[in-house]
Structure 1
Amino acid sequence: MASHPAIKAAYWPSWSETFPPSAVDTTLFTHIFYAFLLPSNVTFKFELSDSTASLLKNFTTTLHQKNPPVKTLFSVGGGSSDPKLFARMASNVGSRNIFINSAIEVARNYGFDGMDLDWEFPQNPKDMADLGQLFKEWRVAIQKEARSTHRSPLLLTAAVYFSVDFQWAETYRKYPAASIAKSLDWINAMCFDYHGSWDTSATGAHAALYDPNSNISTSYGLTSWIRAGVPRHMVVMGLPLYGKTWQLKDPNVNGIGAPAVATGPGDGVLVFSEVEKFNKENGATVVYDARTVSTYSYAGTSWIGYDDSRSTTMKIKFAQALGLRGYFFWALSFDSEWKISKQGKLSYRQEP
């Protein structure tokens, strides 16, 4: 039986000026994703500026030369990219082919070990069918390129919704699990953003492992992928290094689900290092919530739901008990002195 070494990954935001690849502690990770590249919305090719090209080269060279080295992938898309761009590209065999060949070329030219697609999100059943086709053809192209160049095949992964289907959306759709299981190396399930600024009426655990009141939870989402036929060794759990914030209606009613009136500090989002700073400066009360496996803090009317070392460790143990391949963080530079990233290294043990 093939062994599947554990994945301990993180996305590196390329716009982070204070956090160059040289600052990454590679003892804590196995794979680092460069976030993000976008193809042209006209040609569907990657048309890279000189500054992006040198950034890519520096990223792979630096991380491959570190001790220990880590594998590098570039991620295509991201939360702020236009889902219609991917829908158009994926809808036609010609444009899929151009996109795939250009992605492989970028990976080889700049020394990457693989590619990741972060299409957020396919909007309807047709998009999902086209995505399945894209993955299938991408895998064939990767194998063909590896054979003709006598090199190891490039990795192919995708960042996906926390659940296999969008059962809470106006348009129901489901990921092409069969194509994913056959074509990808693994999926990065984005197990966060369950609650946020789009609903300011109540606080929420935005990355709850369990939700006693709904299926919008990490345990439900990850299990749905496995039930849909994606093997456990191909599922990687996402962990947020940031919190969501609200302004409480009444400072004395301050649990998860407490009435709120607006977004809180940081316009609704604080990265983990900022959460720590806020808690310290405001003498915030910090509460670990065992029911949802999450942490929250409050000071006056400000409320923050996030994951700390304890909730992260519990989640990683859950992923391990479920037999998943590992975990990834969004995003690398949001941690505070590697506090949370270290938890994973300590608590995730690969089965022999």
Structure 2
Amino acid sequence: MNYFAQLLKEWRYAIENEARITHRPPLLLTAAVYYSADFLVYGDRRSYPAAAIKNYMDWVNVMCYDYHGSWNTSATGAHAALFDPNTNLSSIYGLKSWIRAGVPGNKIVMGLPLYGKSWKLKDPKLHGVGAPAVGVGPGDDGVLLYSEVVEFNKKNDATIAYDVNTVSTYSYVGSLWVGYDDALSTTVKVGFAQALGLRGYFFWAISYDTEWKVTAQASRAWIQD
């Protein structure tokens, strides 16, 4: 991470130098980063160089997703949970960790997923977030683009539910379960991003939407608030 801080410093110097030579606006310096400013790697605690990010970068895109997936098939999960009552695997924890580290909100952009994660339920009668599972569900290694989730729900007449505790949506039919974000959960998350004073939000990826259902609603929510 010390080398990363030095790299950011050198990049910023190069960008400003180029702007002076060319008389053009300086290039933007951004990065996609982990959901939390500090984390464990092979048992060692690491932290992003918050001071260097604050001083040399225009903003960071915080990837607030992939908290759960095919690497854990024993239970369903909200893979982009805004809150998690049991662990630190949540967007609110991650975003606040960046602010605590010293990166100002106007240099933080919240990442939102336009895809879902699927599981096979152990018992179809138990279908909430965290319900026992026995494997991945439909999709590529248990991943469905949002457009595919909409198609899955319609084709199978799936039951759609909203989980208040994690601010996420899920659908299920029989033993198949899909967790994702829709227009409602995304709108709530956009509101929290504004409440934290963040620079904005981004989607991974905008092409996964269906008829701009989620992305257009997010834009309206940000403008209205």
CA shift, 1:167, in A, is 3.9
Structure scoring higher RCO (CA < 8 A, sep ≥ 6) equals 2
1:268 paired residue among 134, 142, 153: 142
Question: What's the counterpart of residue 305 of structure 1?
Answer: 179
Give 2:38's aligned amino acid: D
Question: What's the counterpart of residue 74 of structure 2?
Answer: 201
SS of the residue corresponding to residue 24 of structure 2 reads coil
Question: What's the counterpart of residue 17 of structure 2?
Answer: 144
For residues 9-48 of structure 1, what are the structure 2 equivalents within 5 Å?
none
8 Å CA contact 2:5–2:53 kept in 1: the answer is yes
Question: What's the counterpart of residue 239 of structure 1?
Answer: 112
TM-score normalised by structure 1 residue count: 0.62
The one-character-per-residue Cα deviations of 1:27-64 (angstroms, maximum 9, x if unpaired) are xxxxxxxxxxxxxxxxxxxxxxxxxxxxxxxxxxxxxx
CA shift, 1:332, in A, is 1.8
For residues 246-265 of structure 1, what are the structure 2 equivalents within 5 Å?
246-265=119-138
Larger radius of gyration: 1
Q: Distance in 2 between matches of 1:227 and 1:260?
A: 36
SS of the residue corresponding to residue 281 of structure 1 reads helix
Q: Distance in 2 between matches of 1:167 and 1:288?
A: 31
CA shift, 1:183, in A, is 0.6
Q: Distance in 2 between matches of 1:335 and 1:290?
A: 23
Question: What's the counterpart of residue 211 of structure 1?
Answer: 84
The one-character-per-residue Cα deviations of 1:151-194 (angstroms, maximum 9, x if unpaired) are 00000100000000114762321100000000100000000000
Q: What is the CA RMSD across the aligned residues, in angstroms?
A: 1.2
Unaligned 5+ runs, structure 1: 1-127
Q: Distance in 2 between matches of 1:255 and 1:248?
A: 10
Q: Distance in 1 between matches of 2:146 and 2:11?
A: 36
CA shift, 1:349, in A, is 3.2
The one-character-per-residue Cα deviations of 1:221-252 (angstroms, maximum 9, x if unpaired) are 00000000001100000000000000101111
Q: Distance in 1 between matches of 2:220 and 2:74?
A: 38
Question: What's the counterpart of residue 345 of structure 1?
Answer: 219
Q: Distance in 1 between matches of 2:211 and 2:43?
A: 41
Q: Distance in 1 between matches of 2:157 and 2:43?
A: 42
SS of the residue corresponding to residue 223 of structure 2 reads coil
CA shift, 1:130, in A, is 1.2
Give 1:315's aligned amino acid: K
SS of the residue corresponding to residue 61 of structure 2 reads strand
Task: Count residues with an aligned counterpart.
Answer: 224
SS of the residue corresponding to residue 155 of structure 1 reads coil
Question: What's the counterpart of residue 157 of structure 1?
Answer: 30
TM-score normalised by structure 2 residue count: 0.97
In the alignment, structure 1 residue 293 sits paired with structure 2 residue 167: yes
Percent identity (aligned): 65
In the alignment, structure 1 residue 282 sits paired with structure 2 residue 151: no
